[in-house]
Amino acid sequence: QKEVEQNSGPLSVPEGAIASLNCTYSDRGSQSFFWYRQYSGKSPELIMFIYSNGDKEDGRFTAQLNKASQYVSLLIRDSQPSDSATYLCAVSGGTSYDKVIFGPGTSLSVIP
């Protein structure tokens, strides 16, 4: 079983819609969860991190964490073409403690 799984996509949404990106992880003891955005040919940049169950909002972005279901998601409201990128989910804590495990990423395309 892969440690961090994401749908590879591509996920296509129309401009202005809500984009929903999902991530599941295998280590039940994981404590910290990160979402990175990576534009083509560029390095990953941190969008959000979340530690507690529930929702965390930052502008148009909302991270949702459900530790019981081992599931973390990222919602992007009012999607813009500039949001088109690959979104990487990263998880740490649990048996890996400090080690951060990245998922394969989901490619998002926002259609004007």
Q: What is the binding site for other proteins (CB under 8 A)?
A: 31-32, 34, 41-46, 49, 88, 90, 92-93, 97-100, 102-105
Provide the minimum distance between the beta carbon of 101 and other proteins in the complex, in angstroms, as a whole number.
Answer: 8
Select 37 or 62, whichever has its Cβ closest to other proteins. Answer: 37
* C-alpha distances out from residue 5 to 26, 27, 57, 70, 88, Å: 9, 12, 23, 11, 10
Select 72 or 88, whichever has its Cβ closest to other proteins. Answer: 88
Neighbours of 25 (CB within 10 A): 24
Select 17 or 71, whichever has its Cβ closest to other proteins. Answer: 71
| Measured distance CA(38)–CA(42) in Å, rounded | 6
